[in-house]
């Protein structure tokens, strides 16, 4: 029997048309693809979470494909991931998403080098989480430090987990705080 039982999926598209000051020539789009699943380890301690993490790779790939399809794979410039674990679970049940969601997103996007930032929490139904984002090729590109809110109104229920992947097609509207620019990335180590 599969460890992954999906109750619902969500796809959220946020388009930033204005942030004060001049309107951007091209609006910024952010996409969150998520799924609420049954937590197979709810209410008990499981010493080996690796089978769960391995099986989640398929869900990660599916969500990454959905988000990338909205923006266009070649237009994705920033990414992040998140997990909200229902209160009968533990934080480690959400931490399995680091590998399962992160590597899936990298595979779909052509293996960018930057670490995929994340947020996770154990929380009640309706909890919202701010997902950190940054540039896919170099973590130190300041213009792409951003966030997107994720969550579902009716989850995660106590015995569920909400997993999400977030992508954006640009940096912040009106970014102007200097630092490493996308066109200056040269080391190709995911940092600079």
**Low-confidence spans in the chain with pLDDT less than 70:** none
Show the CA angle centred on residue 36, arms to residues 58 and 122, nearest 5°. Answer: 110
pLDDT (0 to 100) of residue 187: 86
Give Cα 103 to chain centroid, integer Å. Answer: 11
Q: Are 6 and 22 in contact (CB under 8 A)?
A: no
Q: Please state, in angstroms and rounded to a whole number, the distance separating the CA atoms of residues 4 and 55.
A: 7
Residue 112 CB partners (closer than 8 Å, separation 6+): 79, 106, 136, 137, 190
pLDDT (0 to 100) of residue 192: 87
The number of beta carbons lying within 10 Å of the beta carbon of residue 94 is 26
Give the pair of three-digit tokens for residue 104: 């899936």
pLDDT (0 to 100) of residue 190: 84
Average confidence score pLDDT of the chain? 96
pLDDT (0 to 100) of residue 128: 98
């Amino acid at each position: 029997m599969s460890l992954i039982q999906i109750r619902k999926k969500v796809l959220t598209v946020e388009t930033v048309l204005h942030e004060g000051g001049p309107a951007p020539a091209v609006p910024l789009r952010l996409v969150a693809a998520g799924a609420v699943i049954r937590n197979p380890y709810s209410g008990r301690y499981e010493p080996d979470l690796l089978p769960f993490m391995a099986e989640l790779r398929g869900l990660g790939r599916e969500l990454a494909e959905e988000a990338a399809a909205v923006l266009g794979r070649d237009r994705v410039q920033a990414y992040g991931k998140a997990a909200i674990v229902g209160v009968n679970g533990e934080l480690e049940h959400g931490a399995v998403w680091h590998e399962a969601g992160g590597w899936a997103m990298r595979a779909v996007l052509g293996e960018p080098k930057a670490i995929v930032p994340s947020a996770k929490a154990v929380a009640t139904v309706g909890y919202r989480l701010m997902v950190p984002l940054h540039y896919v090729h170099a973590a130190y590109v300041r213009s792409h430090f951003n966030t997107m809110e994720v969550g579902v109104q009716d989850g995660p229920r106590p015995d569920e987990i909400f997993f999400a992947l977030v992508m954006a097609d640009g940096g912040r509207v009106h970014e102007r705080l200097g630092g490493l620019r996308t066109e200056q990335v040269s080391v190709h180590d995911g940092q600079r």
